[in-house]
Structure 1
Amino acid sequence: MVSIVIVSHSPNLAKGVHELASQMSQGKVQIAVAAGVDDPENPIGTDAVAVMMAIEEVYSPEGVLVLVDMGSAILSTDTALDLLGSEIAANVHVCAAPLIEGTMSACVAAAAGMSLIQVADEAHNALCAKYELLEQAAKLPGAGSIGIDLEHEVSGDELEFEWQVKNPHGLHARPASAIVAAVSSFDAEVWLSCNDKRVSARSLNGIALLGVRKGDKLNFIASGNEALSALEAFIALAKKHFNESVEEGTAEPPRPTRRVTTHQDGRLSAVGASEGIAIAPLWHYRPSMPKAPERDFLGYEEEWSRFSRACDTAQRDLADLVVRTANAGSKSESEIFIAHGQMLSDPELGEQVRQRLKEAVTIEKAWEQVIEQTAQAYEASASEYMQARANDVYDIGRRVMALMTGETGQQIVLDEPVILVAVDLTPSDTAQLDPEMVRGIILEHGGTTSHSAILARSLGIPAVVGLSGIMSQSPEGEMAIMDGSNGDVWLAPHAEQLDNARRQAEELTRKREQAQAMAMEKAVTKDGLALDVFANLANLEDAEKAIHCGAEGVGLVRTEFLFTDSEQVPSEQSQYEFYCKIAAAFGDKSVIIRTLDIGGDKPLAYMPQEQEENPFLGCRGLRLCLQHVDVFKLQLNALLRARVEHPNLKVMFPMVATLEELNQAKYLLNSCYETLQHNGIAAAMPEVGIMVEVPAAVANAGLLAKEVSFFSVGTNDLTQYVMAADRGNDTVSYLVSAAQPAVLRMIKQAADAAHEAGISIGICGEMAGDPKLTSTLIGMGIDELSMSPIRIAEVKQAVRETDSIKAVDTAEAVLNASTLKQVMSLL
């Protein structure tokens, strides 16, 4: 039998739900509770370990359904599943149904012996009856209704029994659950019919949808091998008035009032992705569909054909997302995409499109109208869960519209400072944000090394990621506080919380202004050790900003932007001119240019790659360049020519794993140099280094260090490869931190190999820009840090506050830590 786990912030709420559920299932179902935290002064919250223990307490191979109330309950449950391991987690389903109604329905279904999928379906449908009874099913002109057609013709081979209901309150939850329990075990199709509607007698929600009141005629219908037995069981139950006294009174039950349960202090916790405190109203960002183009109607068949092709492509994309997310261990996300596919294939949706096409409306405008009206119908619902489904409708609409129009962009324009709340942001979304108007970012998805988080840090915008469900929990326009350092979010904060947050924000601003005032000065520790603080950049605008921010050189020029911004391979001359301008901007200061790093999440149309099951473990970086030698030689030639005029220019190869790969790249560089010389073209050999970003490079560091002039650790990729955790996968985001002990030990191993070979080592990943880690990195022997220009002043200040001798002790303590939590507490 399927078991139930209730996860709630409130122990009292969970206790009440548990009591109701036990009554409904007559004690047949195993139910466990994980509610509150072990803090007498503030017991409201959730604990992942408690959730894990609750699941273990009632675990059944037939499955466990977990019902959660909000926010961090979902986060705690996700963590609990990770702690339990894949074998148990595979039989656990986390349900988005409303806690009270969902638990009632689920327990009745479980007591009836239904499967985990059926129990989950019952829980998800728990609100349908409430919509019917409260007459709140949202309807808009032309949009159809959101509900279920329950009309059905009775066939001749069915047994039927009619009963006039005498129960004072009709068939409410308790008698309905008694019916489900009585008839579900028989090998028969069992139905109830009333008021011209017919529903399954196995469905608590279906029975509730009938809205049976005292005096109504109720028909029980059965067919199949044990139809007669099922009929007899129903008749016996009906004669007992479904285990309820008919003398309880005749007053109508009061209509339920809607209550919103919030955290005691309004605080939710997730992952801090970009430091800083923001205080502002919340603004929900929902990427809108591309606008329908103004064009002539091409005829019904042609318009429908366009729509069908787009839907087919969208379904293939969704199916691919289902497989990819499931393989990545994100079962809940894969189910989202399954649901999107089902919504897209809904015949009612297609029928509404057809009706508009018959009125000579172009397919884009027809689709726009159908999606908007359907989404509005969801948003008009009294249920937060149903309101949240509007996001799914918009997402499907945008996906199909983008395929029909080829336009996906959207501008974010604001007229007042806000905290932006979204499910997720693409890099293009984040890049267009104005830090003056977007004071903070809160995302339901993402990790600390996702592109959106990296861009937020580069813009200096505080960010919190991985706060599942925040879109449905946070009313737009409500004042909020967020702390990007630790991932805390306060919804509807009170006056004292606002005052504390403002003081902290002012203190952070003061420290930043102090650091900025000294940004142009050299970064030297208290005991006189100088550290190079460089910038990562991609274009000349970045170069100017980096110089203004106090950069003492460039640790990483991302040349792939030259290639991605072009529809064809950039010419040797255009590359040469770009490299010269970047190098000239920094005079005699070191400028390290990374050769083309394409592949994985950065493909190029004119450098076609075969489809790879896991592109991040495939042909990317130097591997791809060695397969496209003609393109690679253009870049090497441009770099060799630029080096003549700019001796400060250095070259770095990405994604090096083996000595053979490095030797091939160096051979090509030497070959290009000799060819240029032979042709009378001035060229000069630069210093050559490599990116250390795969574990193999660390293992081979001793050999590789003898062949190059410097190492630069790419901690973003190194972290995801060492931890075997995709930095874009929300379910493993807790693993994706460069401060993980395993990652720190890898960096130390590379640093020791570099110094033994007499070469320098730097860090150019996001880790370099975290002032909390500066002292530790100095203690580990790092010679250079390269980061987003906006982080330079703070990191320089962190260097000045460090004693390099004491930093060695700090680093040793950190390297001996066993867990990320221990590392962060030491920092």
Structure 2
Amino acid sequence: MVSIVIVSHSPDLAKGVHALASQMSQGKVKIAVAAGVDDPDNPIGTDAIAVMMAIEEVYTPQGVLVLVDMGSAILSTDTALELIDSEQAANVHVCAAPLIEGCMSACVAAAAGMSLEEVSGEAHNALVAKYTLLEQNAHLPGKAGLQNDELPALSTAEEEMAFEWQVKNPHGIHARPASAIVGAVSSYDAQIWLECHGKRVSARSINSIALLGVEQGDSLTCVASGNEAQQALQAFSSLAQNHFNESIEKTDHQTAVLPVQTRKAQVSRHQDGRLNAIGASEGIAIAPVWHYKATMPKARERDYLGYGREWALFSEASGAALQTLAELAEQTAQKGSQSESDIFTAHSQILTDPELVDTIRQRLKEAVNVEIAWSQLIEKTAQAYKDSSSDYMQARANDVYDVGCRVMGLLTGEGEQPIELTEPVILVATDLSPSDTARLDPAMVKGIILEQGGSTSHSAILARSLGIPAVVGLSGITTQSQEGQTAVVRGSSGEVWLTPTAQRLEKARREQDEFDSQGEQARMKAMEKACTLDGRAVEINANLSSLEDAGQALALGAEGVGLVRSEFLFMDSEQPPSEQSQFETYCQIAQALGDKPVIIRTLDIGGDKPLTYLQQGEEENPFLGCRGLRLCLQNVDVFRLQLNALLRARAKCSNLQVMFPMVATMEELNQAKYLLNSCYEALQHSGIPAVMPKIGIMIEVPAAVANARQLAEEVSFFSIGTNDLTQYVMAADRGNDRVSYLVSAAQPAVLRMIEQTAQAAHEAGISVGICGEMAGDPKLTEVLLGMGVNELSMSPIRIAAVKQAVRATESKSARMQAQEVLGASTLKQVMALL
């Protein structure tokens, strides 16, 4: 596979390009960076030695493509080529393509297995799509790609085969779907094209695919000829049916009931005073109106401090903003689902966008102080989103503005102003940033009415996660309403009443009481045991990644903890956590659950999740390498600290159990048990209280399933990690777009592995649970119970839905459905049965 080297004057720019390129190629392409010089006062520049080392770092006989930004980068690269071995230099090509676009296109082509010449050609043609979309003339050199006026005419040759697909992706075939297409079809020995709008382009060229401008609803045809045409079409078909690895509809349980509205609401006033707009978050709210207005802190009028100092101010502010965004993502994930926390992850991506960073850098070089440069850039960027014809893109303007306000507050020292209220209110505003929404207290903000936004806006999503009724898109509400006047909000229908009549107010109160009662009943039911219709009890537990998760798990109805990911204690540190700190944390988690069972998984880490203090080494395929229990057995000193802490914690907390991950053989299990026993004896000898816990193992690899009967004789329970088991059974990396259609725990082969494991567990008289994502899917609950699974452990937010699915299940019919599903031949048949 061709490798890539990025040569730039700016380390920050190169880092951003590297991140984008790695994302486009799913990390499959080796990329090295040679950027900047070792001079703290003047870091901008290039170094021939650094370029030489970068080329040698990623050198491959298939070739190395070097992309440079300008000037001395070319000279430094020429010097580097003179310093390396002549045979290696012959396989290195220096490309004149634009750095950012060229690097992304080259990486996609390299990941698809193209030759050095083809990869270079793709890089050269990187700007053709942009020029075409901007309706400007481009005269760029090209090797592998085609200029817009050189596209081949449509052909109807008999040897060609075709597959047609109506694109359902909301934003059409943009960069990520195009990248997935290139990756899916490029390895086949066939000529493969895509047709749309009367044009035909190569399916191996991400730039050419972009030229098609495929939008939602368009018919996209894949045409292939050659030795492996059939296989290529099948790969495209599988990818298309998976919507090119994108979600085309909301799956969050709180948002699925709300229609996605892509047009601006037509606000209307009825005779009874009712105002209608877009219902964004269900519920009834009755409270006085309170107007809220967030403003961008004003840029200070001050002297220019020089590029170095101004850049340092920006770097410091953006770094602090990124830290806050990471904390918000974590906090929001604890309150709602991962989709809400991803909003703040997206904000981090906006802030680190290479083009934005490069623009602010250029403005600072023009002797503009950072506050003025930043405010102008944010206003211009947000306005560009507002001017879009797409409502979805218009909604993103508020995200840009939110990021801008956050950084500006740090630059000016104003920071975020707290939202302080003395009584419950209905908040009325032009719009709310996601940050502002996340800081709202549902006890004080009973409802939200916004002039702008839609049901897909991030503020609407966050309002739903907080359970605050909300109506958006109600133009003019800030001028029509007065602070203090009573308002009624019906979030499900998008209705608002200002100063309602006594009759309307009374009806709203009845609706509110009914809604609150239903919600209360649901919460009360979530705390009840999950039993099937015929009285079979099923343990519904939570997966935890921190001590803080324990409280949320209990509040949402967890009957125990099926998985504590102990890695959180080991990450982001330059040394392993002490035995005492681990002991205290394990005790705190176990004690927080009272007498409910708590299963702590020992350190599950590998080459894909490196720790600086472990000698892990670089692995060609870390998922098949030294990870989990294997790694712990090779780092006994660190493993002993954890085992000692667990044994001591078990002496204090009788509900604590221990589970070993990534077990494949009896030898591994015996080594782990022997080490645990030796730790126990050593603690006993030292007079330190210690108790042997119940021991279980994760069933994650096919070898463990094959050895399940023997392994079951040595442990107290099995827990099936369906995420890893699926990728190992299907030989399909979860992060590889080309095989993502295989990665489903509902694959017949995976289901048979689960059934085989459950049977072995029951024969040995031990329990079997599931702690992968599969456990939290109510569609699969009945089948899993029919296979004999005793316990399900999941993200706390999914507990209520799974408990309801258990209560709707009857054991006999569950067994019948399980047998029917186990007899299915394809994933499609399984899903149809479910």
Scaled by the length of structure 1, what TM-score is found? 0.51
Give the match for residue 277 of structure 1: 256
1:125 to partner: Cα distance:
14
1:811 to partner: Cα distance:
0.4
What do residues 30-55 of structure 1 show as CA deviations (whole Å, max 9, x unaligned)?
179xxxxxxxxxxxxxxxxxxxx999
> What SS does the aligned partner of 1:272 have?
coil
Cα gap change, 1:353 to 1:70, in 2 (>3 Å): same
1:81 to partner: Cα distance:
5.5
1:813 to partner: Cα distance:
0.5
Matched-pair contact (CA < 8 Å) for 1:72–1:269: no
Give the match for residue 737 of structure 1: 744
Q: Is 1:372 aligned with 2:477? A: no
Matched-pair contact (CA < 8 Å) for 1:438–1:461: no
1:712 to partner: Cα distance:
0.2
1:82 to partner: Cα distance:
9.9
Cα gap change, 1:114 to 1:274, in 2 (>3 Å): closer
> What SS does the aligned partner of 2:643 have?
helix
> What SS does the aligned partner of 2:531 have?
coil
User: For 2:386 and 2:438, how far apart are their aligned partners in 1?
Assistant: 33
User: For 2:550 and 2:750, how far apart are their aligned partners in 1?
Assistant: 30
User: For 1:654 and 1:306, how far apart are their aligned partners in 2?
Assistant: 45
> What SS does the aligned partner of 1:277 have?
coil
Give the match for residue 786 of structure 1: 793
Query: Highest CA radius of gyration, 1 or 2?
Result: 1
Cα gap change, 1:307 to 1:784, in 2 (>3 Å): closer
Give the match for residue 798 of structure 1: 805
Matched-pair contact (CA < 8 Å) for 1:516–1:794: no
What do residues 253-299 of structure 1 show as CA deviations (whole Å, max 9, x unaligned)?
xxxxxxxxxxxxxxx9447355763436679xxxxx99999999664
Which of 816, 824, 831 is the aligned partner of 1:809?
816
**Paired letter, 2:692:** M
Give the match for residue 748 of structure 1: 755
Give the match for residue 712 of structure 1: 719
Matched-pair contact (CA < 8 Å) for 2:566–2:601: yes
What do residues 349-393 of structure 1 show as CA deviations (whole Å, max 9, x unaligned)?
96884464242635xx587367536635744766669979999x9
Which of 568, 574, 589 is the aligned partner of 2:581?
574
Give the match for residue 154 of structure 2: 30
Cα gap change, 1:94 to 1:548, in 2 (>3 Å): same
Cα gap change, 1:769 to 1:431, in 2 (>3 Å): farther
1:642 to partner: Cα distance:
1.5
Which of 760, 779, 784 is the aligned partner of 1:777?
784
1:72 to partner: Cα distance:
7.7
User: For 2:192 and 2:666, how far apart are their aligned partners in 1?
Assistant: 46
Give the match for residue 170 of structure 2: 71
Which of 634, 645, 648 is the aligned partner of 2:652?
645
Matched-pair contact (CA < 8 Å) for 1:771–1:794: yes
1:433 to partner: Cα distance:
10
Matched-pair contact (CA < 8 Å) for 2:169–2:248: no
For 1:462-611, list aligned pairs within 5 A. Answer: 477=473, 516-564=523-571, 568-599=575-606, 602-607=609-614, 609-611=616-618
**Paired letter, 1:798:** A
Cα gap change, 1:354 to 1:650, in 2 (>3 Å): closer
For 1:157-556, list aligned pairs within 5 A. Answer: 269-270=248-249, 272=251, 274=253, 277-279=256-258, 299-300=306-307, 353-354=361-362, 356-359=364-367, 361-362=369-370, 368=374, 371-372=377-378, 375-376=381-382, 378-379=384-385, 477=473, 516-556=523-563
1:690 to partner: Cα distance:
0.8
Q: Is 1:763 aligned with 2:770? A: yes
User: For 2:704 and 2:744, how far apart are their aligned partners in 1?
Assistant: 19
What do residues 654-704 of structure 1 show as CA deviations (whole Å, max 9, x unaligned)?
222333332332222122112112212121111111111233322332332
User: For 2:676 and 2:297, how far apart are their aligned partners in 1?
Assistant: 46
**Paired letter, 1:717:** D
Matched-pair contact (CA < 8 Å) for 2:660–2:697: yes
User: For 2:249 and 2:706, how far apart are their aligned partners in 1?
Assistant: 34
1:780 to partner: Cα distance:
0.3
**Paired letter, 2:365:** L
**Paired letter, 1:277:** A
User: For 1:618 and 1:769, how far apart are their aligned partners in 2?
Assistant: 28
1:560 to partner: Cα distance:
2.1
Matched-pair contact (CA < 8 Å) for 2:426–2:448: no
Per mean C-alpha deviation after superposition, the further-off stretch among 590-599 and 428-437 is 428-437
Q: Is 1:654 aligned with 2:654? A: no
1:652 to partner: Cα distance:
0.3
Q: Is 1:664 aligned with 2:671? A: yes
User: For 2:552 and 2:605, how far apart are their aligned partners in 1?
Assistant: 25
User: For 2:746 and 2:520, how far apart are their aligned partners in 1?
Assistant: 27
1:646 to partner: Cα distance:
2.5
1:809 to partner: Cα distance:
0.9
> What SS does the aligned partner of 1:809 have?
helix
1:637 to partner: Cα distance:
0.5
1:711 to partner: Cα distance:
0.5
1:431 to partner: Cα distance:
10
Per mean C-alpha deviation after superposition, the further-off stretch among 733-742 and 703-712 is 733-742
Matched-pair contact (CA < 8 Å) for 2:387–2:394: no
**Paired letter, 1:677:** Q
Cα gap change, 1:308 to 1:794, in 2 (>3 Å): closer
Cα gap change, 1:662 to 1:271, in 2 (>3 Å): farther
> What SS does the aligned partner of 1:633 have?
helix
Matched-pair contact (CA < 8 Å) for 1:761–1:782: yes
Matched-pair contact (CA < 8 Å) for 1:531–1:784: yes
Matched-pair contact (CA < 8 Å) for 1:282–1:421: no
User: For 2:657 and 2:426, how far apart are their aligned partners in 1?
Assistant: 45
User: For 1:726 and 1:507, how far apart are their aligned partners in 2?
Assistant: 48
Cα gap change, 1:277 to 1:27, in 2 (>3 Å): closer
> What SS does the aligned partner of 2:577 have?
coil
Cα gap change, 1:388 to 1:67, in 2 (>3 Å): farther
Matched-pair contact (CA < 8 Å) for 2:542–2:561: yes
The share of aligned pairs that are identical, in percent, is: 53
> What SS does the aligned partner of 1:667 have?
helix
Matched-pair contact (CA < 8 Å) for 1:673–1:683: yes
1:557 to partner: Cα distance:
1.8
User: For 1:429 and 1:654, how far apart are their aligned partners in 2?
Assistant: 41
**Paired letter, 1:771:** P
Cα gap change, 1:777 to 1:508, in 2 (>3 Å): farther
Scaled by the length of structure 2, what TM-score is found? 0.50
**Paired letter, 1:575:** Q
Q: Is 1:821 aligned with 2:828? A: yes
Q: Is 1:685 aligned with 2:724? A: no
Matched-pair contact (CA < 8 Å) for 2:178–2:209: no
> What SS does the aligned partner of 1:592 have?
strand
User: For 2:213 and 2:187, how far apart are their aligned partners in 1?
Assistant: 25
Matched-pair contact (CA < 8 Å) for 1:651–1:687: yes
What do residues 113-158 of structure 1 show as CA deviations (whole Å, max 9, x unaligned)?
99978866866799xxxxxxxxxxxxxxxxxxxxxxxxxxxxxxxx
Matched-pair contact (CA < 8 Å) for 1:412–1:433: no
Matched-pair contact (CA < 8 Å) for 1:594–1:653: yes
Structure 2 regions of 5+ residues with no counterpart? 1-147, 216-246, 259-277, 282-295, 319-349, 420-424, 476-491, 495-512
